[in-house]
A and B are shown apart, each in its own frame.
Chain A
Amino acid sequence: DAKTTQPTSMDCAEGRAANLPCNHSTISGNEYVYWYRQIHSQGPQYIIHGLKNNETNEMASLIITEDRKSSTLILPHATLRDTAVYYCIVRVYSGAGSYQLTFGKGTKLSVIP
């Protein structure tokens, strides 16, 4: 159970902001939201994570709604190299000190010249 719902694919014009939505309506109070991306033939790359506050780093911004049931990853100025599959993940505590990242199918973002 991936616990997240994302659109299958999205297009974004080069230079524009890419806004990738994610629904996680069953998230629990202590579960973090992580975003990763995977460029073809590479391992997933960490982008950002958050609990309830909005977060920003050099790659992206993460906006989490007040009820924490959804979030949006923002790439402020998309480039062709941002074309990838973007995964929104809820990190789940699976017991005995173990945490799991359960990957869904993600959103295939295509940045168009």
Chain B
Amino acid sequence: GAGVSQSPSNKVTEKGKDVELRCDPISGHTALYWYRQRLGQGLEFLIYFQGNSAPDKSGLPSDRFSAERTGESVSTLTIQRTQQEDSAVYLCASSSGQGSYGYTFGSGTRLTVV
């Protein structure tokens, strides 16, 4: 597609439920990032995928968070047993490589845990 696509755009879930967020990167982009942005705050790095290399999971806040990516295509971010502090906008970005390229962000998924 022309840009990074994220779905759903909005998600309201009950505390304790699991949620799955999806990111479709730009075709051919080998690098994919997940970020979290709480209301009024900056972006927090969560996880990074580069091609078939092992992902950089150093930003995941707890073991309730996990992400997968199949090859260089779709990625899913899963949050298990959601808590109210998980409420945030979850942003995905993709890039064409490890060089000095720009990173294209999606519009994000706004997650609200009630």
Contact = CB atoms under 8 A, between A and B. Distances in A.
A51 B100 contact: yes
B43 A44 contact: yes
Interface string A17-52: 000000000000000101010000011111001010
Nearest to A47: B102
A45 B53 CA distance: 26
B42 A106 contact: yes
B42 A97 contact: no
Given A96-B53, A104-B42, 16 more contacts: A34-B102, A43-B91, A44-B91, A44-B93, A51-B100, A91-B100, A94-B56, A96-B54, A97-B50, A97-B98, A99-B31, A99-B48, A101-B33, A101-B45, A103-B44, A106-B42
A105 B91 CA distance: 16
Interface string B82-114: 000000000101000010101111111000000
Interface residues of A, number: 25
A20 B93 CA distance: 24
Q: Which of A2, A34, A100, A105 has the most CB of B within 10 A?
A: A100
Contacts of A36: 105
A15 B5 CA distance: 33
A43 B42 contact: no
Interface of B: 4, 31, 33, 35, 41-45, 48, 50, 53-54, 56, 58, 91, 93, 98, 100, 102-108
A42 B48 contact: no
Nearest to A93: B98
Contacts of B91: 43-44
B103 A103 contact: no
A36 B35 CA distance: 14
Contact of B105 (A43, A51, A100, A102): A43
A102 B107 CA distance: 18
A36 B44 CA distance: 15
Given A43-B108, A87-B42, A106-B42, A101 B103 contact: yes
B41 to A, nearest CB: 8
10 contacts: A2-B42, A34-B102, A43-B93, A44-B91, A46-B102, A51-B100, A98-B48, A103-B44, A104-B42, A105-B41
